Structure 1
Amino acid sequence: MRLLSWNVRGLGSLVKRRRVGEVIRKHRFDMALLQESKLKELIPSMVAGMWYSDGFEFSFSPSVGASGGILAIWEGDRFVLESVEIERHFVMLHGRWKHEDMVCCFMVVYAPCEVSEQEGLWLRLVTAIDSYSGPWCVVGDFNAVLRPSERAGCSSLSRGMTSFVSFVNDACLIDFPLRGKL
């Protein structure tokens, strides 16, 4: 299973969609979970231009103003969607990987910047995660960090960090320290 999670910082321009498409086609991802599309509307031809086959499927949560927007794209002959939940700050996909015969959930998150809004989102996400006992993959731009060392110039835990740490622990998530650029 090849999975891409990327804060694309806007998909409104053809140049940006072409660049995202180049990366997706080069690596032939099974699923791409894109945050911050900044798109209020999405037409299938825009998705088709970024994907490498005609067998793609997708789910979309529009932006509010110039903020947010989530796009999940997957290869339909690899992942069979059984249900989807779309909210402003996340898209949750429940389905089956055909070749592995594995049922799982994917959640792609684009969290708000305000701590009070994040705290409400963390509670909502924990509830969603608790509703399904199978394997999960939660990715996205959380607009929060777990440790002061992850933010330049920060030396102590803030309320936002404490809240995010609680979310990760309450949801029994594992933080994989992924780094690098495509």
Structure 2
Amino acid sequence: MIVSSFNIRGIGGALKRRRIRDMVRVQKIDFLALQETKLEIIPDSVCYKIWGSQDCEWVYLPSVGRSGGILSIWRKSNNSLIFSFKGEGFVGVCLEWGVTKTICFVVNVYSKCDIVSKRRLWSILTNCKRGLGDGRWCVVGDFNAVRRTEERVGVNTVVGGLSQLN
């Protein structure tokens, strides 16, 4: 299974959708995880255009206004959707994949930046794994994690008591 994940930072433009569609075709992607769609509603036509055909199924978590939004799309002919599950900052699917009917859980994450929200997200995902049983797990997405504070771009930080935009 070839899985690809991108923070798309808005999926509204035709050029962006075309580039993703070309990548899906050329790289033979089986599962596409997109974060920050910035769409409250994702119509069938958008998913078909992104995927390049109607041989797909999808599940999404809508944005809140122009913030966030998660979309997972996968090749319909290779699998059967057993169920999907959603929570704050993630959308997951349980699939029977391929001719061997391997049970696969794929979770698409878009984590908030604050540590409390991150801990809550990982606690929920850990409980999902415990409660949903055996199978192969793949967790992908934008975890909003950095090794050093300097790596954060566009986030307010406090320096010497003054707020500064990086």
**TM class by smaller structure:** 0.7 to 0.9
Tell me the SS of whatever aligns to 1:38: coil
Residues in 1 aligned to 2:100 and 2:3: alpha-carbon distance in whole angstroms: 15
Residues in 2 aligned to 1:26 and 1:98: alpha-carbon distance in whole angstroms: 20
What aligned pairs does 1:57-136 form with structure 2 within 5 A after superposition? 57-131=57-131, 132-136=133-137
- Tell me the equivalent position of 1:141: 142
Instruction: Using the TM superposition, give the Cα deviation of residue 11 of structure 1 relative to its aligned residue in structure 2, in angstroms.
Output: 0.3
1:1-58 CA-to-partner distances (Å, cap 9, x unmatched) read: 1111111111022222122122112222111111111111110001111113322111
One-letter amino acid of the counterpart of residue 5, structure 1: S
1:59-81 CA-to-partner distances (Å, cap 9, x unmatched) read: 11111122211111111111211
What aligned pairs does 1:30-69 form with structure 2 within 5 A after superposition? 30-69=30-69
Aligned length: 150
TM-score, with normalisation over the residues of structure 2?
0.83
Residues in 2 aligned to 1:106 and 1:38: alpha-carbon distance in whole angstroms: 21
* RMSD of aligned Cα (Å): 1.6
Give me the identity figure in percent.
37
Q: Is the 8 A contact 1:96 1:102 kept in 2?
A: yes
TM-score, with normalisation over the residues of structure 1?
0.76
- Tell me the equivalent position of 1:165: none
Q: Which runs of 5+ in 1 are unaligned?
A: 155-182
Tell me the SS of whatever aligns to 2:25: helix
Q: By percentage of residues, which structure has more strand?
A: 2
Q: Which runs of 5+ in 2 are unaligned?
A: 152-166
Q: Is the 8 A contact 1:28 1:52 kept in 2?
A: no
Residues in 2 aligned to 1:72 and 1:79: alpha-carbon distance in whole angstroms: 14
Residues in 2 aligned to 1:54 and 1:66: alpha-carbon distance in whole angstroms: 27
1:86-116 CA-to-partner distances (Å, cap 9, x unmatched) read: 2231111011112232111110100111222
Mapped pair 1:3 → 2:7: no
Q: Is the 8 A contact 2:2 2:29 kept in 1?
A: yes
Residues in 1 aligned to 2:50 and 2:114: alpha-carbon distance in whole angstroms: 31
